């Protein structure tokens, strides 16, 4: 889709405010390939990806999205070359240091999901400070998935619930969808209605398996560092043209 002749304002005008997703989740992918295409080291792609994070966050807040979850580092990403992992962790500290003021200015609250205990101390501290500094903001919640794995999260929830059953708080027969949802790290958040993945890959890579059960998937070949506010708005316009049937037939929805 060529977006060069259309403005951000024109795209915004095409968005139906009555049909906005409350929660959008994004797998930000393709930083390494973007850099390689330019003959640069992979880390150059990660650094440039920060601009896309800024634009998409701003765009989401402007149109009234309540929750934006960004997959920033998976549990599997520890298996990358040590130098790249280290660079990503440093970039996180630097970005948080710079951007928390902007989040506050825009009334955006920061949260995180994932096993934060395994993050390097400096990264974890910067993250917890960002979360604390923005905790009273109300316009939108930006959730960073860091050292996140959906299977890890589901197992953690299962352990939590098993312990509650063992203590006699309720019976296993009483475990509901709601109890399970509230035992996940996304407790209290609505499930994402829209999942976006950039860079042409069409897999979930261990992201939000439970929460995405009925989400609409949007895949784009655009590499993350090239993904801009216009692309994001286009993804939402595409989402709004879909019919979400939830098992029913089309005629029942009219």
Chain residues in the site for Mg ion (CB under 5 A): 29
- Residue 68 beta carbon to Mg ion: minimum distance, rounded to whole angstroms: 20
Q: Which residues are catalytic?
A: 29, 77
Residue whose CB is less far from Mg ion, 84 or 115: 84
Q: Is 51 in the site for ligand IPE (CB under 6 A)?
A: no
| Spatial distance between the Cα atoms of 30 and 18, rounded to a whole number of angstroms | 32
Q: Is 201 in the site for ligand IPE (CB under 6 A)?
A: yes
Among the listed residues 90, 69, 73, the one whose alpha carbon sits nearest the alpha carbon of residue 147:
73
Residue whose CB is less far from ligand IPE, 15 or 41: 41
Residue from 29, 99, 153, 193 that binds ligand IPE (CB under 6 A)?
Answer: 29
Residue whose CB is less far from ligand IPE, 39 or 168: 39
Q: Which residues contact 17 (CB under 8 A, 6 or more apart)?
A: 63, 64
Residue 238 near residue 216, CB atoms below 8 Å: no
Q: Is 47 in the site for ligand IPE (CB under 6 A)?
A: no
The answer to whether the Cα torsion of 4, 71, 106, 21 is positive or negative is: positive
Q: What residue 73 binds from Mg ion, ligand IPE, none (CB within 5 to 8 A, per partner kind)?
A: ligand IPE
| Spatial distance between the Cα atoms of 123 and 76, rounded to a whole number of angstroms | 18
CA dihedral in degrees (82, 84, 90, 92; nearest 10)? -120
Residue whose CB is less far from Mg ion, 188 or 200: 200
For tokens 């906005």, name the residue. 20
> Which residue's CB atom is positioned nearest to ligand IPE?
32
Q: Is 72 in the site for ligand IPE (CB under 6 A)?
A: yes
The DSSP bridge partners found for residue 71 are 27, 145
Q: Write out the residues near ligand IPE by the rule CB under 6 A.
A: 27-33, 71-74, 77, 88, 199, 201, 203, 205, 224
């Amino acid at each position: 889709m060529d977006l060069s002749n259309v403005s951000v304002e024109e795209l915004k005008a095409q968005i139906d405010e009555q049909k906005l997703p409350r929660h959008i989740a994004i797998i930000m992918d393709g930083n390494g390939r973007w850099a390689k295409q330019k003959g640069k080291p992979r880390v150059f792609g990660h650094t440039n990806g920060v601009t896309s994070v800024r634009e998409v966050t701003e765009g989401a807040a402007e149109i009234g999205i309540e929750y934006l979850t960004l997959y920033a580092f998976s549990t599997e990403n520890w298996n990358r070359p040590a130098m790249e992992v280290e660079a990503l962790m440093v970039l996180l500290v630097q970005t948080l240091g710079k951007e928390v003021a902007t989040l506050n200015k825009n009334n955006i609250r920061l949260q995180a999901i994932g096993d934060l205990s395994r993050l390097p101390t400096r990264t974890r501290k910067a993250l917890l400070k960002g979360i604390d500094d923005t905790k009273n903001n109300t316009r939108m919640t930006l959730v960073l998935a860091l050292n996140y794995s959906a299977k890890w999260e589901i197992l953690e929830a299962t352990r939590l619930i098993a312990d509650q059953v063992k203590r006699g708080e309720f019976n296993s027969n009483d475990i509901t969808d709601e109890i399970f949802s509230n035992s996940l790290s996304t407790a209290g958040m609505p499930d994402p209605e829209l999942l976006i993945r950039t860079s042409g890959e069409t897999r979930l890579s261990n992201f939000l398996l439970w929460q995405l059960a009925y989400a609409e998937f949007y895949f784009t070949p655009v590499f993350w560092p090239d993904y801009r506010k216009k692309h994001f708005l286009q993804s939402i316009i595409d989402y709004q043209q879909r019919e979400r049937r939830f098992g029913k037939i089309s005629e029942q929805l009219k």
